[in-house]
Chain A
């Protein structure tokens, strides 16, 4: 059986990738994708800890992961809708340009 650490390492790498994407990408869609990656990294963790935990029969990790997938879907929908709205207004999805909250 693959040790837990391997899962955790993969999840951490995946999270780091997602974080990088969310922070460094200019395209808003890419930022959204980065966020999705981070969410999935968390899912991976949850499922891994459930599988290696003591109450395997309780399916808690799976349920949690499914909930997050549903949430991620909703979030992606809202996020994409926002991006489309921003695009219609500003003709760009470059997050560098979207600095209306500047102090």
Chain B
């Protein structure tokens, strides 16, 4: 069974081959492209699950993780080893990632119909087929993305990890801007790319420092996390300006953490993720909920020994991580309460949940962080795909109501007049605005019920759902470790999470339809609903793998698989495994906030809203609602500070370049060259040419002189001859004559 571990390196390859095949050959055939991508990812899925289950069954994999070397790229001084690893942490990822990839690929094949924002004349062929004009390209992109994610999961060194990390960054950019005809999508893509770049740049610095400071220099996980190296990193210090001496390990930990802040969209780099919802919904589910954003947390999990040691020598570095995580969790949850766009609510919820995981790493709860990463990936993918199904349905509903977009009054969706409301601007034909939904439980039962399952898991509905167990684990750890600040922040965030989830369910599925789109929304095709049903199984069941053993009644019935699986691995990485003791307070709080949030949410939104009714919360909270609805004005703040400053800098450099210095120098160099050229030209025309002409003239003149000799008279020539001979004889006999004298 263990032989299959040596095939781990094959897992990312089929999607890559699919990507190449689609880009080079298959792109004219939309159906064939989709099929190729799905088959390729299915191969990865089978292999990934084979490896994952092999790892679950293997004895003491944690103590002896597989670390295979494939190829060593010779570089300068050292060789760069490319390899793969199979250990408990990435075995769990290999369980989650390929499954979600496959589900989302299948879902996408149904979802990527002709988009509503394009007129049929844009691509009549694609319109007839009912598929997106760039349907094949979409599958090429997500295949490449799958390569990136799977490669990142199996990477055995940080550099390879970083390379795949950046491949995903690229795919994220391409997919957010997939519908680049929309100005907003274009902007969102650029925003995401630039924002994550800030984090990645700092992460790269951390990576380089880690390589330099390690003894021996390496980025391979198995060599990085030796006791000697970790202690060596912890005991040497860097002298930083302002901060003074800091252990290298703490500096590296914080720099690498910024990679997570960018990728996992933590405050203050969270601004890109909500805008990334401009991409097609499967992309939101795939990249911006389940996989890529969790890669940021996976980085923390991979680098956990570094964080554990950094926490020992410099507690503030880990406190920083915990603070950012907890703050983001609460911060994003408050924003999510006041959003109308169904996908944006989920986006902020994702940021909030990622904040949970980051906070968990920050307090040292490795198992809880990874556990929540897994369960969250399942239920958030489910929620996103469900919201995609809803959007699709409502969009179709609007089309149906308008006679397939041929209504002369509203030639295209989105052209209707906007309504200014007390609770925000409303586009009455926006298929993503929850104010245009309502009552969809009757219209789209399969989507609705799976969405409700996902929503309950997100809220942490006690006992049944996976979200409860993983969230409870984090809360229990925070309480047990005495981090009351983190605990209460996360608990408050959990309450808000339950509340806004109920609000979303209420606004979308309960009550009466509030628009033509909702009234005529059809249930989605099976290729979309079947993945929803399959994922919902895991959204509920994945939590049962991590029930604490001391839990009253239920504890011990099912062994706490996750913890047992990961503990030896932590020991292998020279970290003391930690499992929270059981306390009643966090359990009761966990129950209370989940049920309380859901109950308050149901009380307010349980019957939906009447058409045109203002959100009761907006009345109640007043300015606070506005603050939340406008996302604490962070975008505006960035626009007025960072963006304005950057534009000013760009203007300044442009001025510097074009008007003040560079162009001035260049022009003067040019002018000088011209003057010099003119000087040289003059010199050439008078001196050089003069010399040449002088030589010619001289030859001419001398010729004129010499030609006098050649007068054509034979006698004259003879006379010359005689003269020459006479002189010669004279010279020859002169010495003889001289001796005689």
The answer to whether A102 touches B711, judged by C-beta atoms less than 8 angstroms apart, is: yes
User: Do residues B710 and A23 form an inter-chain contact, with CB atoms below 8 A?
Assistant: no
B719 in contact with A95 (CB, 8 Å): no
Q: Which chain A residues in 58-103 approach chain B with CB under 8 Å?
A: 95-96, 98-103
In the complex, what residue of chain B is closest to A102 when comparing beta carbons?
A: B712
In the bound complex, do residue B713 and residue A96 qualify as a contact, i.e. CB atoms below 8 Å apart?
A: yes
Contact of B715 with A95 in the complex, beta carbons under 8 Å? yes
Instruction: Specify the chain A residue showing the minimal Cβ separation from B710.
Output: A103
Q: Does A22 contact B (CB under 8 A)?
A: yes
- Please indicate the chain A residues that have their CB under 8 angstroms from the CB of B706 in the complex: 103
Q: Which residues of A are found within 8 Å of B712, using beta-carbon distances? A: 98-103
Is A39 interfacial (CB 8 A cutoff)? Answer: no
Residues of A within 8 A of B713 (CB): 95-96, 98-99
* Shortest Cβ gap from A42 to chain B (Å): 15
With both beta carbons as reference points, the residue of chain B lying nearest to A24 in the complex is identified as B715
The answer to whether A23 touches B711, judged by C-beta atoms less than 8 angstroms apart, is no
Contacts of B707 in A (CB 8 A): 103
Give Cα distance in the complex from A87 to B504, angstroms.
133
What 0/1 pattern do residues 608 to 645 of B give for CB contact below 8 A with A?
00000000000000000000000000000000000000
Docked pose: A3 CA to B564 CA in angstroms = 145
CB within 8 Å of B: which A1-54 residues: 19, 22-24, 31
Shortest distance between the CB of A102 and any CB in chain B (Å): 3
Q: Once the chains bind, are B722 and A19 in contact (CB under 8 Å)?
A: yes
Closest Cβ neighbor of A31 among chain B residues: B715
Taking the nearest CB of chain B, how far is it from the CB of A72, in angstroms? 18
List, in ascending order, chain A residues with CB within 8 A of B710's CB.
Answer: 101-103
The SS class assigned to the B binding surface is helix
Q: Given A100-B712, A101-B710, list of 18 further CB < 8 A pairs?
A: A19-B722, A22-B718, A23-B715, A23-B722, A95-B713, A95-B715, A96-B713, A98-B712, A98-B714, A99-B711, A99-B713, A101-B712, A102-B711, A102-B712, A103-B709, A103-B710, A103-B711, A103-B712
The answer to whether B711 and A95 have CB atoms under 8 Å apart is no
- 1/0 per residue, CB under 8 A from A, across B715-736: the answer is 1001100100000000000000
A101 and B712 CA atoms in complex are apart in Å by 4
Interface, chain B (partner A; CB < 8 A): 706-707, 709-715, 718-719, 722
Once the chains are docked, how many angstroms separate the CA of A19 from the CA of B722? 9
For residue A22, which residues in chain B have a CB less than 8 angstroms away from its CB? Answer: 715, 718
Query: How long is the Cα–Cα vector from A23 to B717 in the complex, in angstroms?
Result: 9
B717, closest chain A residue (CB)? A101
Q: Please measure, in the bound complex, the distance between the C-alpha atom of A98 and the C-alpha atom of B722, giving whole angstroms.
A: 21
When C-beta atoms are compared, the residue in chain A nearest to B719 turns out to be A23
24 pairs, A vs B, C-beta closer than 8 Å: A22-B715, A22-B718, A23-B715, A23-B718, A23-B719, A23-B722, A24-B715, A95-B713, A95-B714, A98-B712, A98-B714, A99-B711, A99-B712, A100-B712, A101-B710, A101-B712, A101-B714, A102-B710, A102-B711, A103-B706, A103-B707, A103-B709, A103-B710, A103-B711
Chain A residues in 8 Å Cβ range of B718 = 22-23
Q: Which residue, B707, B712, B713, B715, has most C-beta atoms of chain A within 10 A?
A: B715
CA distance A84 to B167 in the complex (A): 106
Complex Cα distance, B715 from A101, in Å, reads: 12
User: Which 8 A-B pairs have CB atoms at the shortest separation, nearest pair first?
Assistant: A99-B712, A103-B710, A102-B712, A101-B712, A103-B707, A99-B713, A102-B711, A23-B715
Bound-complex Cα distance A96 to B711 (A): 10
A22 (CB) vs chain B CBs: closest residue? B718
> Chain A nearest CB: distance from B501 CB in Å?
115
Q: What is the CA–CA distance of A102 and B712 in the complex, to the nearest angstrom?
A: 4
Residue of B nearest to A103 (CB): B710
B718 to chain A, nearest CB (A): 6
Residues in chain B near residue A23, CB distance under 8 A: 715, 718-719, 722
Q: How far is the CA of A22 from the CA of B715 in the complex (A)?
A: 7
Distance in Å: Cβ of B729 to nearest Cβ of chain A: 13
A99: chain B residues at CB < 8 Å are 711-713
What separation, in Å, do the CA atoms of A4 and B711 have in the docked complex?
41
Q: Give min CB distance, A57 to chain B, whole Å.
A: 34
- Complex alpha-carbon distance, A4 and B637, angstroms: 132
Residues of B within 8 A of A19 (CB): 722
Closest to A99 in B: B712
Minimum Cβ distance to chain B for residue A17 (Å): 14
Q: Which residues of A sit under 8 angstroms from B722, Cβ to Cβ?
A: 19, 23
Neighbouring B residues of A102 by C-beta, 8 Å? 710-712
CA–CA, A93 and B719, complex, Å? 19
Q: How far is the CB of B293 from chain A (nearest CB, A)?
A: 99
CB distance from B730 to the nearest CB of A (A): 16
